[in-house]
Amino acid sequence: MSIVTTEALTKIYKMGDTTINAVDGLDLSIDKGEFLSIMGPSGSGKTTLLHLLGCLDVPTAGKVNIDGVETGDLSGAALASIRREKVGFIFQEYNLLPVLSAVENVELPLRYLKVKPAERRRRALEALEKVGLSDRARNRPSQLSGGEAQRVAIARALVTEPALVLADEPTGELDTTNTVRIMDLVRDLNRDFQQTFAIVTHDPMVAERTRRIISIRDGKIESDKAVA
């Protein structure tokens, strides 16, 4: 069953007289429980594709369907609601709020979903437990290592149990040991909870740990293959 489908998805940027087809008529389908990576060189359009899939950006043409919802004609508020309910994001630089503790950072998406405080805290602690950071719940981001901070960000992406988790270079700031740890964690979460992950990366080591690699060049799919 498809969680995400795109049809002739196109994003064109105009910079002065230059037109850039960041995503160029792309057709894609991601099934529930998939664990895939989107690879490509810098400027290939992989991050733009991620933003379009996550309703952070709107396409110039074409369609995106997330968990049965056509996102093409939705208002800004409706797109925010899709992001709240159906998508989880993991960023390269973690993007944790420095004034909040780890558990408060994880609670943040639940706040926007208007979940009651006690329930929020319970679910946030549960998510932290999944990523093995229960003992660091009260720490501020400045008191966490890079690997720990990224695990908090993963817990934040999972806490709403979204249909799709999108990760943009999630190991870009980490050393090899932590990269392996994070990828193992994400793979376990995919396996244990059937959580769908789409990971944008330019690191072959990361891509090889997923089960499907989509290569993109000039906004088009160059190859789409399963990993043995």
Partner 1 sequence: MTFIFRNMWRRKGRTFLTIFGIVVGIFALTVLGGMTARMDQQVKGMKGFITGKISVAPEDSGAHVRMRGGGSSYMDLSTARAIEKIPGVQTASGMVMVQLKSAEGLSAPQMLVGYEPPADGGMFKDIKMSQGRELKAGDTDKAVVGSVLATQERSKVGGPITLKGKTYEVAGIMDATLGPTDAWAFVPYQDGLNTFLAANPFIKDVQLVQSITVLPKPGADIEALAGTIQKDIPGVKTTSPVQAEKQISQMTTIFSAIILGIAFIALFVGGLSVINTMIMSVSERRREIGLKKAIGATTSTILREYLGEAAMIGLFAGAVGMLAGLLAISALNRATHANNVVIFAVTSTVILGPVIFATILASLAGLFPALRAARLNPVDALKEE
Question: Please, are residues 106 and 155 in contact by the beta-carbon 8 Å criterion?
Answer: yes
Radius of gyration of the chain (CA): 17
For residues 37 to 56, the per-residue mask of contacts with partner 1, x marking binding by CB under 8 A and - elsewhere, is: --------------x--x-x
84, 211, 212, 217: residue in contact with partner 1 (rule CB under 8 A) = 84
Cα gap 12→210, rounded to integer Å: 29
If we measure between CA atoms, which residue out of 182, 178, 177 comes closest to residue 197?
Answer: 182
Our finding on whether 109 is near partner 1 (CB under 8 A) is yes
From the CB of 225, what's the least distance to partner 1, in Å?
A: 29
Structure tokens given for 56:
């952070």
Our finding on whether 104 is near partner 1 (CB under 8 A) is yes
Our finding on whether 100 is near partner 1 (CB under 8 A) is yes
From the CB of 106, what's the least distance to partner 1, in Å?
A: 11
Our finding on whether 224 is near partner 1 (CB under 8 A) is no
Residue 35: count of CB within 10 angstroms of its CB = 21
Please give the residues from 137 up to 156 whose contact with partner 1 meets the rule CB under 8 A: 156
Cα 222 vs. chain centroid, distance in angstroms?
A: 21
Cα gap 196→162, rounded to integer Å: 9
Please tell me what DSSP assigns to residue 138.
T
Our finding on whether 76 is near partner 1 (CB under 8 A) is yes
Our finding on whether 61 is near partner 1 (CB under 8 A) is no
10, 81, 139, 178: residue in contact with partner 1 (rule CB under 8 A) = 81
Cα gap 199→49, rounded to integer Å: 11
- C-beta of 27 vs 93, nearer to partner 1: 93
Our finding on whether 95 is near partner 1 (CB under 8 A) is yes
Our finding on whether 112 is near partner 1 (CB under 8 A) is yes
CA terminus-to-terminus distance, the chain: 21
Our finding on whether 123 is near partner 1 (CB under 8 A) is no
Our finding on whether 121 is near partner 1 (CB under 8 A) is no
